Amino acid sequence: MPNMRVLIACATFIAIAGCSGGGGGTPAGGPVPAPAGWPQISLSPVAGGFVQPVHVAHAGDGSGRIFVVEQAGRIRILDNGVVLPSPFLDISTKLVCCGEQGLLSVAFPPGFAAKGYFYVNYTRAPDGATVVARYRISAGDANAADPASEEVILTIPQPFANHNGGQLTFGPDGYLYIGMGDGGSGGDPLNNGQSPGTLLGKILRIDVESGTAPYVVPLDNPFVGVGGYLPEIWALGLRNPWRFSFDRGTGDLYIGDVGQGAVEEVDVQPAGDPGGRNYGWNIMEGGGCYNSVTCNAAGLTLPVATYDHSQGCSITGGVVYRGAALPALQGIYFYGDYCSGRIWGLRMKGAAWETAVLPVPGNPSMNITTFGEDEAGDVYVVNYANGDLLKILSP
């Protein structure tokens, strides 16, 4: 989840720095033009009233429904613009919340409409361990899951309450990718990010759809058969990859990795990459040295974009716009900051990456916990502070 530095006064997160700022970081007042060459964006309210929303997903089943994860343990459904009164799933008694703990994401497998089950990531009560579990839809009601149907896929002990990661995403290859933070505290005192013998500080890749319980490790995972490495590891050297996503157009993987005290970063793994990349934590923070004793960037994959803490304090990774309705946004990766509410765009220009803050008219105050997309490829952003779900538009 966003960094533990976020204020308790900002909903339920804990912090040492302030939490709410102007969305886009522009002066209060009227609209500010987008940077040269970038489209102007706006935010259109879609629904409100969500309680501590932290994740947005769709089921890929043709229903058009949007699923909003509430941190305290519920998943709500937005159906044709209406928030259904009963939750899709309520497992609030199973988990510990909140801070950086709780129900953190939901993922629907390819072919969900026929399979009738899905996956969640939560921190278990009372010990705060990460649990990835499968739940099934209730018989006769597509808008309700059976809370008694839990099948635990994976459990990972957590040494501290923060840096739990929490993202679940099915890749274009049909495998489940799981984001795991470094276990918490500060500075990765257990060196989990660089340790090959722990699942913490990693992105994992497992096969949960082959029918072999609870899962199997794909044979082409990069560390299968490599001594000392857990075979589930797909990437390492991550501090807290709170939100990551695959570009539905290209298959590229975009990772928003929360920084320590100075720099936030976006990492990109191109489609077709065999995995095994080391993104540097806790040797590096962003593109610079974090640990001066061990600092050596050789063999590390450095971020394609960073920002310092004059612009925010906790990155929220986003998604690439691939909808048909707004051609001006095509191919732009949108990401934001929990504390400042700024929204950035990131894209390739020639052979180089470029990024810019995209001002939002009205300069709204937001605490951004997630971006998401619907089946049509439209992009949404969540404001944790007031429970609003908003769509990104281009006038």
Alpha carbons 184 and 160: distance in angstroms, whole number: 5
**Total residues found in the chain within this entry:** 395
Q: Look at phi and psi of residue 211 and say left if phi exceeds 0, alpha if psi is from -120 to 50, else beta.
A: left
> Who has greater pLDDT, 33 or 249?
249
- pLDDT at residue 1, rounded to an integer: 66
* Whole-angstrom distance, CA of residue 181 vs CA of residue 240: 4
Q: What is the pLDDT of residues 253-302, one digit of tens each?
A: 999 999 999 999 999 999 999 999 999 999 999 999 998 888 999 999 99
d(CA 200, CA 1) in angstroms, rounded, equals 14
- Mean pLDDT confidence for 165-182: 98
Q: 327 burial class (0-12, 13-18, 19+ CB within 10 angstroms)?
A: exposed
- Spatial contact of 87 and 53, defined as CB atoms under 8 Å apart: no
Q: pLDDT averaged over the chain?
A: 93
CA atoms within a 13 Å half-sphere pointing along the CA-CB vector of 33: 3
Instruction: Write the DSSP symbol of residue 393.
Output: E
CA distances to 5, 103, 132, 198 from 156, in Å: 24, 15, 9, 9
349-385 CB burial, b ≥16 within 10 A, e <16: eeeeeebbbbbbbbbbbbbbbbbbbbeebbbbbbbbb
Are 75 and 91 spatial neighbours (Cβ–Cβ below 8 Å)? no
Q: Residue 94: what are its φ and ψ, rounded to 5°?
A: -90, -15
* Mean pLDDT confidence for 248-253: 98
- Evaluate if residue 58 carries a pLDDT over 60: yes
| Residue burial 80-101, b: 16+ Cβ < 10 Å; e: rest | eeebeeebbbbbbebbbbbbbb
Question: Distance between CA 262 and CA 272 in Å, rounded?
Answer: 32
| Cα torsion through 191, 192, 194, 195, rounded to 10 | 100
Q: Is the pLDDT of residue 127 over 60?
A: yes
Peptide bond into 327 cis (omega under 30): no
Q: Is the pLDDT at 17 greater than 50, yes or no? A: no
Segment 131-149 shows an average pLDDT of: 97
Closest CA to 262 of 222, 228, 310: 310
* pTM listed for this prediction: 0.94
Banded model confidence at residue 18, pLDDT cuts 50, 70, 90:
very low
Q: Going from the N-terminus, what domains does the chain have, and what CATH number goes with each?
A: 46-341+368-393 (2.120.10.30)
Triad 369, 58, 208: Cα angle to 5°: 95
Average pLDDT over residues 117-129: 98
pLDDT computed for residue 314 by the predictor: 98
Which of the 8 DSSP states describes residue 112?
H
pLDDT of residue 385 exceeding 70, the answer is yes
**Residue 22 pLDDT > 60:** no
Distance CA 105, CA 116 (A): 18
Over residues 35-57, the pLDDT tens digits come to 999 999 999 999 999 999 999 99
Continuous segment of H or E residues that includes residue 114? helix 112-115
Amino acid at 248: R
Could you give the CA distance from residue 345 to residue 20 in angstroms, rounded to a whole number? 20
Instruction: Evaluate whether 301 touches 278 at the Cβ level (below 8 Å).
Output: yes
Query: Which strand ranges, in their side-by-side order, compose the sheet holding 379-383?
Result: 42-47, 388-393, 379-383, 368-373
Is residue 182 within 8 A of residue 195, CB to CB? The reply is no
Residue with tokens 């089921």: 59
Q: Check: CB of residue 47 under 8 Å from CB of residue 81.
A: yes
